[in-house]
Copies of this chain bind each other. A is one copy, B any other.
Amino acid sequence: MRESQAAEARPYHHGDLRRALIDAASRLLEAEGPSALSLRAVAREAGVSPAAPYHHFKDKGELLDAVAHEGWDLLDGALAKAKKEAPSPEAAMNNLGVAYVCFARENPALYRVMYDTARDREDLPDQMQGDKDSAYCKVRDTLIEAGADAQDTLDLELATTAAWCSAHGLAEMAGFKQFEHLKEACGGEIPFLRAIFRHMGLVPHHHAD
Protein backbone atom coordinates (compact mmCIF):
# COMPACT_ATOMS: atom_id res chain seq x y z
CA MET A 1 0.00 0.00 0.00
CA ARG A 2 2.75 2.39 -0.95
CA GLU A 3 1.73 3.97 -4.22
CA SER A 4 -1.56 5.80 -3.66
CA GLN A 5 -4.08 3.03 -3.11
CA ALA A 6 -4.04 0.47 -5.89
CA ALA A 7 -4.45 -3.24 -5.14
CA GLU A 8 -2.21 -5.03 -2.63
CA ALA A 9 1.26 -6.38 -3.44
CA ARG A 10 2.21 -5.62 -7.01
CA PRO A 11 3.32 -8.72 -8.89
CA TYR A 12 4.75 -8.10 -12.31
CA HIS A 13 1.42 -9.01 -13.79
CA HIS A 14 -1.18 -6.86 -12.18
CA GLY A 15 -4.16 -9.16 -12.20
CA ASP A 16 -6.74 -6.71 -13.45
CA LEU A 17 -4.95 -3.61 -14.55
CA ARG A 18 -7.84 -2.55 -16.71
CA ARG A 19 -10.10 -2.22 -13.69
CA ALA A 20 -7.35 -0.57 -11.68
CA LEU A 21 -6.81 2.02 -14.40
CA ILE A 22 -10.47 2.92 -14.65
CA ASP A 23 -10.64 3.25 -10.88
CA ALA A 24 -7.49 5.34 -10.79
CA ALA A 25 -8.89 7.57 -13.50
CA SER A 26 -12.14 8.03 -11.61
CA ARG A 27 -10.24 8.84 -8.46
CA LEU A 28 -8.10 11.42 -10.23
CA LEU A 29 -11.10 12.87 -11.99
CA GLU A 30 -12.92 13.43 -8.74
CA ALA A 31 -9.88 14.74 -6.90
CA GLU A 32 -8.19 16.93 -9.51
CA GLY A 33 -10.70 17.58 -12.25
CA PRO A 34 -10.75 16.67 -15.92
CA SER A 35 -7.59 18.55 -16.84
CA ALA A 36 -5.56 16.28 -14.54
CA LEU A 37 -6.68 13.19 -16.43
CA SER A 38 -3.51 12.40 -18.38
CA LEU A 39 -2.70 8.86 -19.35
CA ARG A 40 0.61 9.17 -17.54
CA ALA A 41 -1.02 10.46 -14.37
CA VAL A 42 -3.51 7.60 -14.41
CA ALA A 43 -0.71 5.09 -14.87
CA ARG A 44 1.21 6.76 -12.04
CA GLU A 45 -1.84 6.61 -9.79
CA ALA A 46 -2.24 2.92 -10.58
CA GLY A 47 1.47 2.33 -9.94
CA VAL A 48 2.49 1.17 -13.42
CA SER A 49 4.63 2.52 -16.22
CA PRO A 50 3.26 5.06 -18.72
CA ALA A 51 3.09 2.48 -21.48
CA ALA A 52 1.27 -0.20 -19.52
CA PRO A 53 -2.25 1.08 -20.27
CA TYR A 54 -1.72 0.40 -23.96
CA HIS A 55 -2.16 -3.31 -23.36
CA HIS A 56 -5.73 -2.66 -22.20
CA PHE A 57 -6.82 0.41 -24.16
CA LYS A 58 -6.08 1.40 -27.73
CA ASP A 59 -5.34 4.95 -26.68
CA LYS A 60 -6.25 7.56 -24.11
CA GLY A 61 -9.65 8.08 -25.67
CA GLU A 62 -10.60 4.48 -25.06
CA LEU A 63 -9.76 4.82 -21.39
CA LEU A 64 -11.97 7.88 -21.17
CA ASP A 65 -14.69 5.96 -22.96
CA ALA A 66 -14.54 3.31 -20.26
CA VAL A 67 -14.74 5.93 -17.51
CA ALA A 68 -17.66 7.60 -19.25
CA HIS A 69 -19.40 4.26 -19.66
CA GLU A 70 -19.38 3.73 -15.91
CA GLY A 71 -20.66 7.26 -15.49
CA TRP A 72 -23.66 6.59 -17.73
CA ASP A 73 -24.39 3.48 -15.70
CA LEU A 74 -24.37 5.52 -12.52
CA LEU A 75 -26.64 8.13 -14.05
CA ASP A 76 -29.03 5.48 -15.30
CA GLY A 77 -29.20 4.01 -11.83
CA ALA A 78 -30.00 7.40 -10.32
CA LEU A 79 -32.78 7.92 -12.86
CA ALA A 80 -34.24 4.47 -12.27
CA LYS A 81 -34.31 5.14 -8.55
CA ALA A 82 -35.98 8.53 -9.02
CA LYS A 83 -38.67 7.04 -11.22
CA LYS A 84 -39.38 4.15 -8.91
CA GLU A 85 -39.77 6.31 -5.83
CA ALA A 86 -42.15 8.83 -7.39
CA PRO A 87 -45.78 8.69 -6.21
CA SER A 88 -47.29 9.74 -9.55
CA PRO A 89 -46.23 9.97 -13.21
CA GLU A 90 -46.20 13.77 -13.02
CA ALA A 91 -43.98 13.64 -9.95
CA ALA A 92 -41.84 11.06 -11.71
CA MET A 93 -41.14 13.44 -14.58
CA ASN A 94 -40.03 16.16 -12.22
CA ASN A 95 -38.00 13.78 -10.09
CA LEU A 96 -36.27 12.41 -13.17
CA GLY A 97 -35.26 15.91 -14.14
CA VAL A 98 -34.04 16.78 -10.67
CA ALA A 99 -32.16 13.51 -10.34
CA TYR A 100 -30.50 14.11 -13.70
CA VAL A 101 -29.32 17.58 -12.80
CA CYS A 102 -28.27 16.57 -9.30
CA PHE A 103 -26.12 13.80 -10.72
CA ALA A 104 -24.42 16.24 -13.04
CA ARG A 105 -23.95 18.77 -10.26
CA GLU A 106 -22.53 16.23 -7.84
CA ASN A 107 -20.16 14.74 -10.41
CA PRO A 108 -19.28 17.69 -12.60
CA ALA A 109 -15.96 16.35 -13.86
CA LEU A 110 -17.42 12.95 -14.65
CA TYR A 111 -20.44 14.46 -16.35
CA ARG A 112 -18.15 16.54 -18.50
CA VAL A 113 -16.12 13.53 -19.56
CA MET A 114 -19.33 11.67 -20.34
CA TYR A 115 -20.63 14.38 -22.63
CA ASP A 116 -17.33 15.29 -24.20
CA THR A 117 -16.67 11.73 -25.31
CA ALA A 118 -20.24 11.38 -26.59
CA ARG A 119 -20.07 14.66 -28.46
CA ASP A 120 -16.76 13.77 -30.06
CA ARG A 121 -18.38 10.82 -31.76
CA GLU A 122 -21.74 12.58 -32.13
CA ASP A 123 -23.33 9.51 -30.62
CA LEU A 124 -25.09 8.96 -27.33
CA PRO A 125 -24.32 5.69 -25.55
CA ASP A 126 -26.82 2.86 -25.88
CA GLN A 127 -27.41 2.86 -22.14
CA MET A 128 -28.98 6.26 -22.58
CA GLN A 129 -30.69 6.11 -25.90
CA GLY A 130 -30.41 2.85 -27.79
CA ASP A 131 -31.22 0.05 -25.40
CA LYS A 132 -34.69 -1.22 -24.65
CA ASP A 133 -34.64 0.01 -21.06
CA SER A 134 -32.45 3.04 -21.68
CA ALA A 135 -32.94 6.29 -19.80
CA TYR A 136 -34.58 7.70 -22.90
CA CYS A 137 -37.22 5.00 -22.74
CA LYS A 138 -37.74 5.64 -19.04
CA VAL A 139 -38.57 9.25 -19.78
CA ARG A 140 -40.77 8.37 -22.73
CA ASP A 141 -42.72 5.78 -20.76
CA THR A 142 -43.18 8.20 -17.91
CA LEU A 143 -44.57 10.75 -20.32
CA ILE A 144 -47.10 8.20 -21.52
CA GLU A 145 -48.09 7.38 -17.96
CA ALA A 146 -48.51 11.10 -17.40
CA GLY A 147 -51.04 11.31 -20.18
CA ALA A 148 -49.10 11.77 -23.39
CA ASP A 149 -50.61 10.21 -26.50
CA ALA A 150 -48.70 6.98 -27.05
CA GLN A 151 -50.07 6.75 -30.57
CA ASP A 152 -48.55 9.99 -31.80
CA THR A 153 -45.02 8.62 -31.84
CA LEU A 154 -43.43 11.67 -33.45
CA ASP A 155 -44.87 14.03 -30.88
CA LEU A 156 -43.91 11.63 -28.13
CA GLU A 157 -40.33 11.46 -29.28
CA LEU A 158 -40.19 15.21 -29.56
CA ALA A 159 -41.50 15.61 -26.03
CA THR A 160 -38.97 13.12 -24.71
CA THR A 161 -36.16 14.84 -26.53
CA ALA A 162 -37.30 18.23 -25.29
CA ALA A 163 -37.28 17.01 -21.71
CA TRP A 164 -33.81 15.58 -22.13
CA CYS A 165 -32.41 18.74 -23.68
CA SER A 166 -33.93 20.84 -20.94
CA ALA A 167 -32.36 18.73 -18.24
CA HIS A 168 -28.97 18.77 -19.92
CA GLY A 169 -29.10 22.52 -20.46
CA LEU A 170 -30.04 23.14 -16.86
CA ALA A 171 -27.35 20.76 -15.66
CA GLU A 172 -24.71 22.73 -17.49
CA MET A 173 -25.97 26.19 -16.58
CA ALA A 174 -26.73 25.58 -12.90
CA GLY A 175 -23.05 25.96 -12.07
CA PHE A 176 -22.72 29.57 -13.13
CA LYS A 177 -22.35 32.22 -10.45
CA GLN A 178 -25.05 34.34 -12.04
CA PHE A 179 -27.77 32.06 -10.74
CA GLU A 180 -26.68 31.94 -7.11
CA HIS A 181 -29.14 34.63 -6.06
CA LEU A 182 -31.95 32.78 -7.80
CA LYS A 183 -31.16 29.63 -5.85
CA GLU A 184 -31.27 31.58 -2.63
CA ALA A 185 -34.51 33.28 -3.60
CA CYS A 186 -36.03 29.85 -4.25
CA GLY A 187 -34.80 28.49 -0.94
CA GLY A 188 -32.04 26.17 -2.11
CA GLU A 189 -30.75 24.43 -5.18
CA ILE A 190 -33.43 21.78 -5.50
CA PRO A 191 -36.38 24.17 -5.17
CA PHE A 192 -34.61 26.26 -7.79
CA LEU A 193 -34.37 23.28 -10.12
CA ARG A 194 -38.03 22.44 -9.60
CA ALA A 195 -39.02 26.02 -10.34
CA ILE A 196 -37.04 26.02 -13.57
CA PHE A 197 -38.49 22.69 -14.63
CA ARG A 198 -41.95 24.06 -13.97
CA HIS A 199 -41.25 26.79 -16.50
CA MET A 200 -39.92 24.29 -18.97
CA GLY A 201 -43.17 22.40 -18.91
CA LEU A 202 -41.81 18.86 -18.93
CA VAL A 203 -45.20 17.30 -18.44
CA PRO A 204 -47.26 17.33 -21.63
CA HIS A 205 -49.72 20.20 -22.11
CA HIS A 206 -52.78 17.94 -22.09
CA HIS A 207 -52.48 16.26 -25.41
CA ALA A 208 -55.35 14.00 -24.42
CA ASP A 209 -58.43 15.76 -25.76
Contacts and interface: CB of A to CB of B under 8 A. Distances in A.
Nearest to A128: B178
A179 interface: yes
11 contacts: A119-B176, A124-B176, A124-B177, A161-B182, A161-B199, A162-B166, A162-B200, A165-B196, A165-B200, A168-B169, A201-B201
Nearest to A129: B178
Contact of A167 (B122, B154, B169, B201): B169
Interface in A129-148: 129-130
Among A154, A158, A199, which residue has the most Cβ atoms of chain B within 10 A? A199
A118 interface: yes
A170 interface: yes
Interface in A150-189: 154, 157-159, 161-170, 172-173, 175-179, 182, 185-186
Contacts of A16: none
Interface in A66-81: none
Contacts of A118: 176
A196 to B, nearest CB: 5
A161 B193 CA distance: 11
Contacts of A199: 158-159, 161-163, 201
A162 B196 contact: yes
